[in-house]
């Protein structure tokens, strides 16, 4: 009998490279999930073109057509419920999620953010990490709560910052890791291995690693 697949909606405002990595891994059955809706608030989003190319159900709900955040979110919730969505995957979705959305999908909304949270929440975070002089940045997959990039953390990838990095070069290396950890987090949820315990998230059966990263690396003595 075919395995039951987790029903995903991917919400994206921009180019949609994270969406693409999820599409690819669903298609190659590396993850036990299917995208039942791609939704954007931006009619020009590259993500919608990617959905079209992959022949996935997609729609645009333009936030500019709504008087306030709650009314926009109500419309989005209706579309997600209509599609029978089980997990809402924010992939570069540049809208704050209101309470009404959180209540409709409790612990069922995840986000990816291009920094090692809780450092650098918000916007333009690769630039901020560079300007701060951090030696590591990275990316974080987390559950969405009522704060900005503040929910319980599922997975993180650390990316070293190099002396000659620009905002673009750092963003690109972080993005490569995003494309790996986001599908992985979705698969962990599909396998029902993710437990939220207060602020902490436990991953059942995860391998343990105490490998430490040092940047720049230690010199051999």
∠ CA 121-122-123, rounded to 5°: 130
Annotation says 113 is catalytic:
yes
Instruction: Judge contact between 89 and 34, C-beta under 8 A.
Output: no
Q: 26 vs 19, 21, 31, 68, 96, CA distance in Å?
A: 11, 9, 5, 34, 27
175 binds ligand GAR (CB under 6 A): yes
Instruction: Judge contact between 47 and 16, C-beta under 8 A.
Output: yes
173 binds ligand GAR (CB under 6 A): no
Burial 164-188 (b: 16+ CB within 10 A, else e): ebeeeebbebbbebbbebbbbbbbb
Phi-psi label, residue 207: left if phi above 0, alpha if psi -120 to 50, beta otherwise = beta
12 binds ligand GAR (CB under 6 A): yes
112 binds ligand GAR (CB under 6 A): yes
178 binds ligand GAR (CB under 6 A): yes
Q: Which is nearer to ligand GAR, 91 or 104 (CB)?
A: 91
* From 1-9, 108-116, 192-200, 209-217, span contacting ligand GAR (CB under 6 A): 108-116
Single residue of 8, 10, 18, 87 touching ligand GAR by CB under 6 A: 18
Q: Which residue is nearest to ligand GAR (CB)?
A: 92
92 binds ligand GAR (CB under 6 A): yes
Half-sphere exposure of 216 (CA within 13 A, CB side): 5
Structure tokens belonging to residue 26: 């669903």
Spot the catalytic one: 58, 113, 142, 179.
113
Single residue of 50, 56, 76, 113 touching ligand GAR by CB under 6 A: 113
114 binds ligand GAR (CB under 6 A): yes
Binding site residues, ligand GAR, CB under 6 A: 12, 14-18, 91-92, 112-114, 175, 178
């Amino acid at each position: 009998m075919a395995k039951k697949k987790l029903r995903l909606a991917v919400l994206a405002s921009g180019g949609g490279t994270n969406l693409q990595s999820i599409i690819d891994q669903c298609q190659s059955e590396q993850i036990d999930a299917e995208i039942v809706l791609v939704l954007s608030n931006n009619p020009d989003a590259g993500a919608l073109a990617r959905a079209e190319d992959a022949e996935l159900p997609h729609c645009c709900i333009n936030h500019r057509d709504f008087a306030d955040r709650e009314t926009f979110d109500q419309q989005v919730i209706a579309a997600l419920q209509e599609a029978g969505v089980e997990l809402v995957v924010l992939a570069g979705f540049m809208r704050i999620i209101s309470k009404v959305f959180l209540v409709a999908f409790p612990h069922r909304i995840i986000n990816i953010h291009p920094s090692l949270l809780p450092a650098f929440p918000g916007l333009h975070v690769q630039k901020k990490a560079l300007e701060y002089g951090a030696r590591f940045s990275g990316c974080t997959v987390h559950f969405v709560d009522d704060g900005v990039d503040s929910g319980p953390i599922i997975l993180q990838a650390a990316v070293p910052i190099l002396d000659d990095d620009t905002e673009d070069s750092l963003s690109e290396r972080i993005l490569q890791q995003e494309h790996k950890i986001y599908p992985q987090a979705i698969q962990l949820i599909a396998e029902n291995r993710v437990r939220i315990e207060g602020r902490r998230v436990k991953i059942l059966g995860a391998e343990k690693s105490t490998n430490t990263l040092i940047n720049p690396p230690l010199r051999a003595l």
